[in-house]
Structure 1
Amino acid sequence: MQRNQNKRKQRLILLSFLASIGLSVLKFTAYYLTDSNAILSDALESIINVIASGFAFYSIYLAAQPKDQNHPYGHGKIEFFSAGFEGALIIIASLYIIYEAILRLIHPEPIHNLGWGSSIILFTILVNGGIGYLLVKEGKKVNSKALSADGQHLLTDVISSVVLILSVMLIWLTDWNWIDSVASLLFGVFLIYNGSRLVNNSVSLLMDATDPELLDRTVGLLSDKKQNHWIDIHNLRVQQYGADLHIDCHLTLPNYWDLGQVHGAIHDFENILKEANVAETEVFVHADPCLPQCCGFCRVENCPIRQTPFLKDIHWTRELLVKNEKLYNGAEK
């Protein structure tokens, strides 16, 4: 199943790469016909699409490689680097676009064949929108940051191209050529914002920053599948390496259980987490023995060592489970 997912990701990013090459040619053709600085901005940004899609293709290929002695957690983090690389390229392109827009404001030039140019850009909007939507959808499905980042970049390109079409229509109606440079300038600022978001997100993931959505999903799963003998979970950590997940936590179990029972409970616990995730999931569980303070929220029936009766169940939340302390501390508050 994992191999099929990797092949599908590679096919999708290859589609994006080939489409980016074709659309880049079309956009430069539109610029050649119109001499529009705004269309040139869109064409220059499409070069970034080509480079970024090519690097994303390589990153997905590398992320699919098996673990080795030098990379015991796999190669998945290359996908985060790919997203950051794409963001950096967008920022570089946007600075050049802003520079060209300022020059055109100072030294305006006539624009031609806006009808043909607009038709070509409209076609690229449809193609980019379809591929971008597909990449984002599949990226979320298979937990691939490289796919999602490339798809979001294409959808951003769609938004900017729509604004571009509107500006061209205004020029057509008003004959105000300065709108072309202003649209290009705004386009450059918009790209800086989106490129910065990609870079910041990439850096956070490379530094193993907590993903609140991913953590909440894991906590929700554990709450829904909660077993009576899962007395307590704490020090929960969920990390993403490309599409792969690594989960570790401390699980409190009855202290009178033998090693075989503990091993079986942990095995079942791990399987619940693995079966709920499409991506390959690696789980490490540290088993803790229960303490007398746990009795008030322990749901184990017919416990031979219970010292106090069951009082209340603790609602598991992200804030509680990530702490490196047993839940009875939360129950006392």
Structure 2
Amino acid sequence: MSLSLNLPRNTTVNEKRNIIIVALVVSVVLMLAKFSAYFITSSNFVLTDAAESIVNVVASSFALFSIYIASQPRDENHPYGHGKIEFFSVFLEGALISIAGIGILFKAGYSLINPQPVHDLLVGAIIIGVTGAINGGLGYYMINKGKTLKSLTLDADGRHLLTDMVTSGGLVVGLLLIYFTHYLWLDSVLSILVGIYICYSGYRLVRKSVAGLMDETDFAVVEHIIEVLNDQRKPEWIDIHNLRAQKYGHELHLDCHMTLPNYFDLNRVHQEVTLVDKLINEKAGVPTELFIHTDPCLPECCHYCSMPNCPIRSEPKRVDIEWTMENIIRNKKHYE
């Protein structure tokens, strides 16, 4: 038997959209400020931050679009909803960050061979410092909201802004170092270091998006679900196995096999499955749609079954089997 819980439509779509709109407006303003700093200083180091700000604008624009798509209800063509669009948003953001980093590496490498004069570094440092502080505050806010609203897009956009804050902080230090030492070659060398860091940040986002698109197991989520099931376990739930989880945006889709006493009628089976469904949705902290296939118990289950007053028990209970990642994801009853 299987049970599917009809989840309510996400009531936080407007809040997500408003956060992304704010991020988009801020990104445009800060991009103009950073390019102004570049034209004032002619510094490649400043250009690294300005180039990444273009990515911020594009990424926020696509994030706004992806949140709109993800909020659409399920239809015949998308029976699991549209939540996976968020993984595409993260992939695009990571790819753009990586491209920006590669471009910075080429530009800095060329300038290292053919150095160009820089000037007004203190003015540039002040502008970049202010933009970095704004991005940092907005990034922390978006990450917290991403966790609260279960939005991968908000979380990814927020982490990108934190990356921007780190690079901006390093840029300010670098500009001051160049200003006081007058070593112009530092402009290109520091740009190369930042470019490598940006490429690595882009790779991490791409890796995260590909993992989601390939339905890679989120072990932290599954471990938490297993912990909840162990804490609330009932004697009727003899074992759970073949547990699999997939994430579609802010929702989790979970299926498993559940062994119940074979003398339960259909109403009792439905009652137990409904309890598991309700338990996970209330305690696991993520909206979850469950598909539970129920198996009848066999005599081989008796040695670890806790069901009291069982009329068909063939032997007394001898062991307690805790549900762990190892035995709950296998497609086997626990006695096998």
Q: Kindly indicate whether residue 73 of structure 2 is the aligned counterpart of residue 63 of structure 1.
A: no
Cα distance in 1 for residues equivalent to 2:100 and 2:167? 14
Say whether the 8 Å CA contact 1:142–1:279 is kept in structure 2. Answer: no
Structure 1 unpaired stretches of 5+: none
Say which SS state the counterpart of residue 285 (structure 1) adopts.
Answer: strand
Specify the alignment match of 1:321 in structure 2.
328
RMSD: 1.2
Answering whether residue 244 of structure 2 is matched by residue 237 of structure 1, we say yes
Q: What percent of counterpart residues are identical?
A: 48
**Contact 2:115–2:185 at 8 Å: present in 1 too?**
yes
Q: Residue 136 of structure 1 corresponds to which residue in structure 2?
A: 143
Deviations along 1:93-113, one digit per CA (max 9) or x if unpaired, are 111111110121111111111
Structure 2 residue 176 is the aligned partner of structure 1 residue 180: no
State yes or no: 1:280 paired with 2:287. Answer: yes
Query: C-alpha separation between the residues in 2 aligned to 1:277 and 1:22?
Result: 40
User: Is the Cα contact below 8 Å between 2:256 and 2:293 reproduced in 1?
Assistant: yes
TM normalised by structure 1 equals 0.96
Task: Tell me how far 1:141 sits from its aligned partner.
Answer: 2.3
Are the aligned partners of 1:128 and 1:155 in contact in 2 as well (CA < 8 Å)? yes
The number of residue pairs the alignment matches comes to 329
Are 1:82 and 2:89 an aligned pair?
A: yes
Structure 1 position 142, deviation (Å):
2.4
User: With CA pairs under 8 Å and 6+ residues apart, which has the higher RCO, 1 or 2?
Assistant: 2
In 2, Cα distance between the equivalents of 1:28 and 1:278? 42
Q: Secondary structure at the match of 1:4?
A: coil
Do residues 5 (structure 1) and 12 (structure 2) align? yes
Report 1:1-333 matches (<5 A).
2-329=9-336
Spell out, residue by residue over 1:119-176, the C-alpha distance to the aligned partner (whole angstroms, 9 max, x if none). Answer: 1111111111111111111212222211111111111111111111111111111001
**What is the CA distance between 1:34 and its match in structure 2?**
1.0
| Paired letter, 2:237 | W
For residues 34-58 of structure 1, what are the alpha-carbon distances to aligned partners after superposition, in whole Å with 9 as ceiling and x for unaligned?
Answer: 1111101100110000000110111
CA distance in 2, matches of 1:119, 1:272: 53
Q: What is the CA–CA distance in structure 1 between the aligned matches of 2:108 and 2:327, rounded to whole Å?
A: 52
Q: Please give the alpha-carbon distance, in whole angstroms, between the structure 2 residues aligned to 1:123 and 1:237.
A: 46
8 Å CA contact retained: 1:2, 1:280: no
TM-score normalized with structure 2 length:
0.95
